[in-house]
């Protein structure tokens, strides 16, 4: 059980064993941003020479932490040694007072780590519109003991309405040298592309420059965190930060297109996609994990917009919650996506079962078999919308009464 209710039925059976990233130290504590007793503060120190890159929400409101990170990464050209994360207060829409509180909290954390504030990155998650009480952080820091990074504890410290901690890892080789990748994430509601109420921190011991990290992260983010949606709302605080400590010694790599990075790119993609899907598995009130595949679109961008429209339709999502293969709602969503399509080529499939083919109900549609399929916890929906080459994949979940309960009670 989580603090706020039962663990999602879609949760993994256990937290994975993640590869160690040499030189990472962390301390976890309780600043008191929640009424109940739970960790809500994480500080992390990385080795000298660590580089970092980030991708951030496109929500126009933004937040003090995302503003700081963008500026810090630009000023230091990706040179980063520390990270401060708090849960329970987003410090968004808080004006100059929020900016000042963010800076003071970073100065306190940097002092503990023996760093300068400009070497620190920061992330906050929680209630919007409340200025961060940085005094709580300053009071908590002295009792927090640095130790080699413990992944499960770190993942638990950054949770909000999450019901389970999220982690993923992978290994690969660059020039015959083993390279490790490991990361944690949080997210459960207010989840949509570009990005979501989610934070993710991914680390590798590879020696990669900040420009390479930025390129890889932006590209692989499109098929991971920018391909999930729980409720269609993207938050003010989202960020994914990728750190490279350089502890695994490999020959210098000049750019992100270097063929020696092929294995690393694939491993990074696996980690990001794994973390992203775990967020959907923990969608507030979710009982079904749904993968939506679209093909036949005029291009990939159009296919993604069609997939997103399907994934975010309340009528589609509630039908899935009711285990009803109401494919007419999917056709409706395709049509209202405002994307090019050919009606007489639209086809819809649930798993291997055809519901519609070429613009009409499938001649072999079987309600009994379809109803049995809909009882599964993990569903695949595939649609064809025309003769084009565009395709996309997105992940979503169902919409249940529990989602309303969680969000109706969020601040009470």
The confidence score (pLDDT) of residue 187 equals 86
CATH architecture of 25-281: 4-Layer Sandwich (3.60)
Query: Residue 184 is inside which H or E element, if any?
Result: strand 177-192
15-to-151, 164, 275, 327, 392 alpha-carbon distances in Å: 9, 9, 12, 36, 29
Percent of the chain at pLDDT exceeding 90? 84
Please give the CATH superfamily to which domain 289-408 belongs: ArgJ beta chain, C-terminal domain (3.10.20.340)
Q: 25-281 and 289-408: same fold? A: no
The confidence score (pLDDT) of residue 239 equals 87
CB 52 within 8 A of CB 210: yes
Residue 61 has pLDDT above 90, yes or no: no
The confidence score (pLDDT) of residue 194 equals 59
21 contacts: CB under 8 Å, gap ≥ 6? 149, 180, 182, 203, 204, 205, 245, 247
Distance separating alpha carbons of residues 291 and 311, to the nearest angstrom: 9
What is the pTM for the complete model shown?
A: 0.94
What confidence tier does 192 reach under pLDDT thresholds 50, 70, 90? Answer: low
Distance separating alpha carbons of residues 191 and 188, to the nearest angstrom: 7
Residue pointed to by tokens 């410090």: 91
Residue 153, Cβ neighbours under 10 Å: how many?
A: 17
Collapsing DSSP to helix, strand or coil, 297 comes out as strand
Taking every pair of Cα atoms in the chain, the longest distance, rounded to a whole number of angstroms, is: 70
Q: Which residues pair with 87 in a beta bridge?
A: 125
Buried b (16+ CB within 10 A) or exposed e, 165-178: bbbbbbebebeeee
For 254-300, write each residue's pLDDT tens digit: 999 999 999 999 999 999 999 999 999 998 889 999 999 999 999 99
408 contacts: CB under 8 Å, gap ≥ 6? none
Q: Report DSSP state, residue 93.
A: S
Residues tagged active-site: 197
- Residue ranges per domain, the chain? 25-281, 289-408
């Amino acid at each position: 059980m989580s603090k706020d209710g039962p663990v999602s039925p879609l949760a993994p059976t256990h937290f994975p064993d993640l590869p160690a990233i040499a030189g990472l130290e962390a301390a976890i504590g309780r600043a008191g941003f929640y009424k109940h007793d739970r960790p809500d503060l994480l500080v992390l120190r990385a080795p000298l020479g660590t580089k970092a890159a980030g991708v951030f929400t496109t929500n126009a409101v933004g937040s003090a932490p995302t503003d700081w990170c963008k500026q810090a990464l630009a000023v230091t050209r990706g040179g980063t040694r520390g990270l401060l994360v708090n849960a329970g207060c987003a410090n968004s829409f808080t004006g100059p007072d929020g900016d000042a509180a963010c800076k003071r909290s970073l100065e306190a954390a940097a002092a503990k780590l023996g760093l300068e504030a400009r070497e620190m990155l920061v992330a906050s998650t929680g209630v919007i519109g409340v200025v961060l009480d940085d005094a709580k952080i300053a009071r908590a820091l002295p009792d927090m003991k640095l130790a080699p990074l413990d992944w499960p504890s770190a993942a638990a410290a950054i949770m909000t309405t999450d019901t389970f901690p999220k982690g993923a890892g992978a290994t690969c080789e660059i020039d015959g040298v083993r390279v490790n990748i490991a990361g944690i994430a949080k997210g459960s509601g207010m989840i949509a592309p570009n990005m979501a109420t989610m934070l993710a921190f991914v680390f590798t011991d590879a020696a990669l420059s900040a420009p390479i990290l930025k390129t890889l992260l932006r590209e692989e983010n499109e098929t991971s965190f920018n391909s999930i949606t729980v409720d269609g709302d993207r938050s003010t605080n989202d960020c994914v930060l990728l750190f490279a400590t350089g502890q695994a010694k490999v020959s210098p790599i000049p750019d992100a297109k270097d063929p020696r990075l092929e294995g690393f790119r694939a491993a990074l993609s696996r980690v990001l996609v794994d973390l992203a899907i775990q967020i959907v598995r923990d969608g507030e009130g979710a009982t079904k994990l749904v993968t939506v595949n679209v093909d036949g679109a005029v291009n990939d961008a159009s296919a993604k917009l069609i997939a997103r429209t399907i994934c975010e339709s309340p009528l589609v999502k509630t039908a899935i919650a009711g285990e009803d293969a109401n494919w007419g709602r999917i056709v409706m969503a395709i049509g209202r996506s405002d994307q090019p399509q050919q009606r007489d080529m639209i086809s819809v499939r649930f798993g291997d079962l055809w519901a519609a083919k070429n613009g009409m109900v499938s001649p072999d549609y079987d309600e009994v078999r379809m109803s049995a399929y809909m009882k599964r916890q993990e569903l695949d929906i595939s649609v064809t919308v025309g003769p084009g080459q565009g395709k996309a994949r997105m992940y979503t979940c169902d919409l249940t009464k529990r989602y309303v309960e969680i969000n109706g009670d969020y601040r009470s």
